Amino acid sequence: MIMILFITILLAISILVFMNHPQFGKAPKGKRLEMLQQSPNYKNGEFQNIHFTPMVSEGYSMSGVMYDFIFSKFPRTVPATEIPSIRTSLKNLDRTDNVLIWFGHSSYFIQLNGIRFLIDPVFSGNASPVPYSNRSFKGTDIYTADDMPEIDHVLISHDHYDHLDYPTIMLLKPKIKQVICGLGVGAHFEYWKFDVSKIIEKDWNETVVINDDITLHTASARHFSGRGLKRKNTLWLSFILQTNALKLYLGGDSGYDTHFAELGEKFGSFDLAVLDNGQYNIAWKELHMTPEEALTAAKDLKTKRLFPVHTSKFKLASHPWDEPMKNIAKLNEISGRIPLVTPMIGEVVDLDDIDQTFGQWWEHLP
């Protein structure tokens, strides 16, 4: 009994020490907490989605989901070979070029009218706070923080570890001029010793004027947030990046909902939509989109091109690693025929060239 008690106490102390690591950030408090509590999207002590969004879909349990994730084996969830890539030097890009470069999963770089944006950067090779517990696929880590030029604006869609990566952010810190994120997420950056004057926190349906020709709008998404043990205490969102010539929808993580059609009506149409298409499961169908739903969302948004992301770097669900890309390409051929933007990691996407074509790089990979 004494030995069991000793082990229990030791385990509890170890967990407490681990949970106090800076990577977990800090929950909003004080004036920041008072500010976000005034949000119309904050009710009953947490942020809410537009429509009811369970963490686990009806008929499933969290314990069952966790058991499957840890112990069950599913075929081809990890590629058997390296993911192909193209190494483009971001530092040598012509500042007049309007381009997007994807780093796998939901991390990408946008250069627009000479302004550099970095969205949800994850370069540590891990999508979990536990070291080596969710490693990136082979071949997907060709970029590091050192490869990034000076960044004018880092955009954070929400504070999950596969979107807000502490090791990456700390390495990028000297290069970041400004962070734009949802309400409450700034608490993490302030805890990480970022200058508070460089942190902009926004609710849904707000605007940040970047310069005379670039405006950033915030919009809703259907998801959740949280680091450590607390959920929904910070706001998740999507972004609309707009110039006189281009409108880009940067979707973050989101399940399908009415907000896509509403944004399509509000903004008229989009030149490119970056949408969640991966790590889905029927057990959490309200939180991530299937390929079918991503195509429907693209049509709702009235987008001219669709870039499906949240795939091809980390195993966060039980589907085959290449299923999201295979299925969206197949379904699009049958019913949609929205031009798909499917670059390899590091391949340059020309934002001004609506006719640019891409290969299906995932084909024939084991």
Asked, for residue 366, whether it belongs to a domain, the answer is: no
Please state, in angstroms and rounded to a whole number, the distance separating the CA atoms of residues 282 and 287: 10
Give per-residue pLDDT as tens, 105-148.
999 999 999 999 999 999 999 999 988 889 999 999 999 999 99
Average of pLDDT values for 262-272?
97
d(CA 292, CA 323): 12
| b/e 187-225 (16+ beta carbons within 10 angstroms → b) | bbbbeeebeeebbebbbbeeebebeeebbbbbbbbbbbb
Look at residue 145 and tell me if it is in a domain. Answer: yes
Report whether 308 contacts 278 (CB < 8 A).
yes
Question: Is 319 within a domain?
Answer: yes
Residue 280 lies in a domain: yes
The whole-number pLDDT of residue 62 equals: 87
Confidence check: pLDDT of 213 > 90: yes
Residue 251 lies in a domain: yes
pLDDT for residue 10 is more than 60: no
To the nearest 10°, report the CA torsion of 342, 344, 347, 353. Answer: -10
Q: How far, CA to CA in Å, does 35 sit from each of 38, 40, 207?
A: 6, 11, 17
CA distance 179 to 196: 10
pLDDT at 3 over 80: no
Percent of the chain scoring above 70 in pLDDT: 95
pLDDT in tens, 96-114: 999 999 999 999 999 999 9
Instruction: Report pLDDT digits (tens) over 334-355.
Output: 987 899 999 999 999 999 999 9
Query: What mean pLDDT is predicted for residues 220-244?
Result: 96
Distance CA 127, CA 122 (A): 8
> Structural domain of residue 253, as residue ranges?
30-350
Chain segment 290-329, per-residue pLDDT in tens: 999 999 999 999 999 999 999 999 999 999 999 999 999 9
**Is residue 318 one of the residues assigned to a domain?**
yes
* Cβ(251)–Cβ(155) below 8 Å: no
Q: Which of 242, 243, 240 is nearest to 220 (CA)?
A: 240
- Report if residue 358 sits inside a domain: no
- Residues contacting 323, CB < 8 A, separation 6+: none
Tally of domains in the chain: 1
Domain with residue 243: its CATH number is: 3.60.15.10
Residue 364 lies in a domain: no
- Cα–Cα distances (Å) from 254 to 113, 250, 293, 304, 321, in that order, read 28, 11, 11, 20, 19
Indicate the pairing of strand 199-202 with strand 214-219: unpaired
Q: How buried is residue 80: exposed, middle or buried, by Cβ count under 10 Å (0-12/13-18/19+)?
A: exposed
Q: Higher-confidence residue: 42 or 65?
A: 42
CB 88 within 8 A of CB 348: yes
